[in-house]
Amino acid sequence: MSALFEPFTLRSLTFPNRIWMAPMCQYSAEDSGPGTGVPNDWHFSHYTSRAAGGTGLILVEATAVSPEGRISPADLGIWNETQTDAFRRIAAFLKEQGTVPGIQIAHAGRKASTDRPWLGGAPVGPEAGGWQPVAPSPLPFMDGHPIPDELTTEQIQEIVGQFADAARRALAAGFEVVEVHGAHGYLIGEFLSPHSNHRTDAYGGSYENRTRFALEVVDAVRAVWPDELPLFFRISATDWLTENTDDDRTGWTGDDTVRFAEDLRSHGVDLLDVSSGGNAARVRIPTGPGYQVPFAEAVKARTGLPTAAVGEITEPQQAEKIIDEGRADAVLLGRELLRNPYFARHAARELGGAVGSPRQYHRAA
């Protein structure tokens, strides 16, 4: 059998294949009234079409644990029961198709309150329906962005509780995987990196202090997430600062990620979703096919923690080779699944694998 189509088990949950859908914001929720942050017909169509296409796991996009945690006013949220109820329909349909339903829970930190990308992505101020961002330190993401409010220790603990509440709601909605978003320069990643965390209290300075908030979130989520279901963590393996030799800023590195993977495993994380970048503006990132796979490979090889690889994985044979060579345990596809919701079906035909087929599509099986 194709390695890409071998089932994969974490705790008591078995994924039918290793082709997974990465969380990708759609910026398509209502931004006012009772529909704020609630998944709608667009989200249902978007996610269920990839399930009908044979994707083994679908991770719903970054879903905010509080209104202030949204990247944009049009982001999804999971801080109330109206949102939870709306997610039930999506999670149930994914399971009906044999796809594992997962969700990424997140807080955008200093990168919150921005416009939709196709409208320019600029900061949205309170006068235009936005809000004041918060962060570990009063450092804007880049020129032209607001200076965020520095979180107090009491506010930090409140956000830890919001992550736990979001995980409870995710479970009630029917999701079987929850992923904590610690990547791409959002709040948890901001705490991890010395580039964005200049605190001098118990949440800043040393590696142990900078990772404290992330581990407190993981502990709080793991405490309410069933033992039989897996917990993922998404990380940016590097800020791409040390790789830019003419940049004297200090950031999070690949070695930090390997070290932190050991900590995450001891706190109950079952898989590391390894991406990169997003925390430091205007850095050079040497993109190319599979350019982030070595980060996932290093974590897996040096710690034994299962990993998922991301980053310009676009061809069935390319994905097959990553799994077959043991460089990662799964591949998370983003843009390729936007282009081709049926990637898994096409890959199965090319590689000799198999995916389930909706009864209504039996003539194409």
**DSSP-derived secondary structure letter, 151:** P
Structure tokens of 304? 């034994």
Alpha carbons 305 and 256: distance in angstroms, whole number: 15
- Measured in whole angstroms, the distance separating CA 70 from the mean position of its chain's CA atoms is 14
Helices (H) and strands (E) in the chain, counts: 11, 12
Structure tokens of 200? 């001098």
Alpha carbons 252 and 211: distance in angstroms, whole number: 11
Alpha carbons 252 and 344: distance in angstroms, whole number: 34
Alpha carbons 125 and 127: distance in angstroms, whole number: 5
Q: Give the number of residues written for the chain.
A: 365
Which of 186, 203, 342, 361 is catalytic? The answer is 186
Alpha carbons 183 and 106: distance in angstroms, whole number: 10
- Confirm whether 186 is a catalytic residue: yes
Residues annotated as catalytic are 186
